[in-house]
Structure 1
Amino acid sequence: MKWQITIAGILIFLVIATAFTNNGSKPTPLVFKVPPGWPQPVYDFKQNPVTLQGFELGRKLFYDGRLSKDGNFPCASCHQQFAAFATYDHNLSHGYDNSFTTRNAPALQNLAWQKAFMWDGGINHLDAQPLAPITAPNEMAETVENIIKKLSADAEYRAMFKAAFGSPQITTQRIMQALSQFEVMLVSSNSKYDKVMRGEAQFNLPESLGYAIFKQKCASCHAEPFFTDFSYRNNGMPMDAVLKDEGRMKITGNPSDSLKFKVPSLRNVAVTEPYGHDGRFFFLINVFDHYRKNMVVGPTTDSLLKNKLPLSNYEIGQLTAFLYTLTDTTFLKNPRFAPPNFNNQPPAEHVH
């Protein structure tokens, strides 16, 4: 391979060098852009301002296996970009020592608008969320103390922490804040649906009919623009006999929260299978069949679903066409969210 020195190449090198070394200057602020028509995020950017250096550090950490005990399970092992940062094709994620987690890894998108995390809402701040999978024995199985030791022995990490936070000291808070700076930028807002809402495209007939059915039968829980209302509901999925997952009740201790789980976003739903908190539905048709005929109506089943959800084959076809318009290929393929230097892309060239 022959190297070609160009002005563009020099500029890219300078961007990378600035991102990683910063030469003792203040970090470069990044502007968080709220998509047109969307509400303001709930994440407190004043407490953790997003910077170019912090974002790049967070991205490196997100893809680094050293955050796990044996080096094989970075955050990205359960949250894959091509699956909207969910786990594709596995009902339960894989963890340390051939373990399985007890839930399906949810997609990481539009996190800046979420007040609580995990399927049961058990963690109420994004900066604290990574601690759960990092320390869980069936996930990453590591301690923060060991992570700090491993990262502190790496000169590149020390330089990156200095560039992002002003000193090379590596702490739990700084690791969590850097991860958050990467994750809050994971905004999915450029699907065909979004382009239609902005007047840049039009639905075809099946998509348009499906959108009308969606607004009539689905939007009460999967509210636009996030396609979730962030609430916790029992949608009639019987408890798995092995996992025995009680859902939200595990956090609140309230029997009225039994079998309630967070309403998942339908954004990028075509690429985030399998579905459900335990990944029991491998195809969209399985989800539709659940709602129209397989639900188990119990004491805590959501009142909107007491009579299940009548859906004809025709309606399912149109709904499926609409749900495919929620796939955001820009988000799924954006090099700024890929592993550092993936495909020789400059880490921060497209970060604004």
Structure 2
Amino acid sequence: MKSIKNILLITSVLLFLWSCDEDGITTYAPYEPTPLPLEIPKLFSDNIIDPVIPFDNPQTVEGVNLGRKLFFDPILSGDNSQSCADCHAPENAFSDADRFSEGINGDLGTRNSMPIFNLAWNYDENFFWDGRAFSLENQALEPVVNPIEMHSDWKINAEKLANHAEYTELFYQAFGNVKIDSTLVTKAIAQFQRTLISANSRFDQHLLGTTTLTPQELNGFNIFMDESKGDCFHCHGNANNPLWTDNIFHNNGLDATFTDLGLGAKTGDPADNGKFRSPSLRNLAFTAPFMHDGRFATLEEVIIHYSEGLQHSSTIDPLMKAVENGGVQLSESDKSDLKAFLLSLSDPTFINNPDFQNPN
């Protein structure tokens, strides 16, 4: 008798939540998603302002769960073979270990996939190496339709998701009884991406007083901050900037002439040619290769570039003042110490966080 009562109770609840109107269209009872405030690390709350959360896309448990599933699901690609995570893998701090990512048709891009973490603090809301996307939600639109990436169609994707029993329920839970479209898909993915917070490196622990850096790492930090040596902090911040980037576009002396205009292709201003966003220095142990085109396979090559490989051009950033000498001319021991410090900004707990792995 007890089991029959339980079945009747469950059935009545389901009938309340799910019914059909006179035209046979499925409708749902009003549903309120569960708020999920970001877990903001102490170093962030102590040093920088609140994260950027759009008023029309608040963080919710249901939205993040949906976005996580979509991020790892190849359903958004033209042939159902490739997901966002194929070019932004958790083990690579959500970047790509290959220099150029391969699309579903075997085509290669021309830039290295940027890592994804701490994006909720990108205050200018311009994304990609050249800043062409104006929000995190907008950023997810292009790769899906790009012919050399996922090569799909948003209308077709909306139909696939609407005809998928599991996704129909997940979208309802996250956004209510609304029609599935690209806006909702990218809102969910952006919610998941905003949870990808990295703030537990050895250097973070050092600042919090829970660990001690080696003499080599400490000397490397001093080189990083010294204008007469590494002079790195102007573009990448200091211990008071836990993002380790200024999120500004710079020409950092990679080329004397440009085959990729970077920011200039977006703005149309020749003064912006060769400028690319400064990436965060966090998680360099996992994000090789480096630079917008992945030209440097190792961190040693990056340091050599700034030490003796700078190229002069008409738009080179004034911060690259050592260009007249080819670079800052670090000694071999300084290079080694600087590398040790930079690696202390890597966060193994981030790439192994179970909340950031494939749920499918």
TM-score (norm 2): 0.85
Higher relative contact order (CA 8 A, sep 6+): 1
Give the letter aligned to residue 230 of structure 1. N
Q: Is the 8 A contact 1:65 1:74 kept in 2?
A: yes
Q: Is the 8 A contact 1:158 1:169 kept in 2?
A: no
Is 1:102 matched up with 2:110? yes
Measured against aligned partners, the alpha-carbon deviations of 1:285-333 in whole angstroms (never above 9, x if no partner) come to: 1111111222211111111213222211111111111111111111110
Distance 2:166 2:243 in 1: 37
Q: Corresponding residue for 1:284?
A: 299
Distance 1:274 1:42 in 2: 28
- How far the C-alpha of 1:155 sits from its partner, in A, is 0.5
Matched residues, percent identical? 38
Is 1:233 matched up with 2:233? no
In the TM superposition, structure 1's runs of 4+ consecutive aligned residues that sit over 4 Å from their partners are 21-24
Q: Corresponding residue for 1:10?
A: none
- How far the C-alpha of 1:147 sits from its partner, in A, is 0.6
Q: Corresponding residue for 1:8?
A: none
Q: Corresponding residue for 2:266?
A: 251
Give the letter aligned to residue 236 of structure 2. H
- Which of 137, 148, 158 pairs up with 1:148? 158
Give the letter aligned to residue 246 of structure 1. L
Give the letter aligned to residue 135 of structure 1. V
Q: Corresponding residue for 2:345?
A: 326
Q: Is the 8 A contact 2:161 2:180 kept in 1?
A: yes
Q: Corresponding residue for 1:159?
A: 169
CA RMSD of aligned residues (A): 1.7
- How far the C-alpha of 1:24 sits from its partner, in A, is 5.7
- Which of 183, 191, 204 pairs up with 2:193? 183
Give the letter aligned to residue 63 of structure 2. G
Worse-superposed segment, 45-54 or 325-334: 45-54
- How far the C-alpha of 1:131 sits from its partner, in A, is 0.8
Q: Corresponding residue for 2:100?
A: 92
Measured against aligned partners, the alpha-carbon deviations of 1:94-121 in whole angstroms (never above 9, x if no partner) come to: 1121000111000001010112100011
Q: Corresponding residue for 1:17?
A: none
Worse-superposed segment, 125-134 or 215-224: 215-224
Give the letter aligned to residue 312 of structure 1. S
- How far the C-alpha of 1:92 sits from its partner, in A, is 0.8
Distance 2:163 2:70 in 1: 15
Distance 1:84 1:38 in 2: 23
- Which of 182, 205, 208 pairs up with 1:172? 182
Q: Rg bigger for which structure?
A: 2
Q: Corresponding residue for 2:234?
A: 220
Is 1:270 matched up with 2:285? yes
Structure 1 pair 105/228, CA: closer, same or farther in 2 (3 Å)?
same
Is 1:129 matched up with 2:146? no
Structure 1 gap ranges (5+): 1-20, 342-352
Distance 1:98 1:25 in 2: 43
- Which of 74, 79, 82 pairs up with 2:83? 74
Measured against aligned partners, the alpha-carbon deviations of 1:49-73 in whole angstroms (never above 9, x if no partner) come to: 1111100000000001111111122
Q: Corresponding residue for 1:18?
A: none
Give the letter aligned to residue 64 of structure 2. F
Q: Corresponding residue for 2:4?
A: none
Q: Is the 8 A contact 2:87 2:113 kept in 1?
A: yes
Q: Is the 8 A contact 2:201 2:345 kept in 1?
A: yes
Distance 1:237 1:203 in 2: 32
Structure 2 gap ranges (5+): 1-17, 19-27
Distance 1:185 1:322 in 2: 26
Distance 2:129 2:256 in 1: 14
Structure 1 pair 38/156, CA: closer, same or farther in 2 (3 Å)?
farther
Q: Corresponding residue for 2:218?
A: 208
Distance 1:293 1:209 in 2: 20
Q: Is the 8 A contact 1:23 1:163 kept in 2?
A: no
Q: Corresponding residue for 1:14?
A: none
Is 1:111 matched up with 2:111? no
Distance 1:334 1:175 in 2: 23
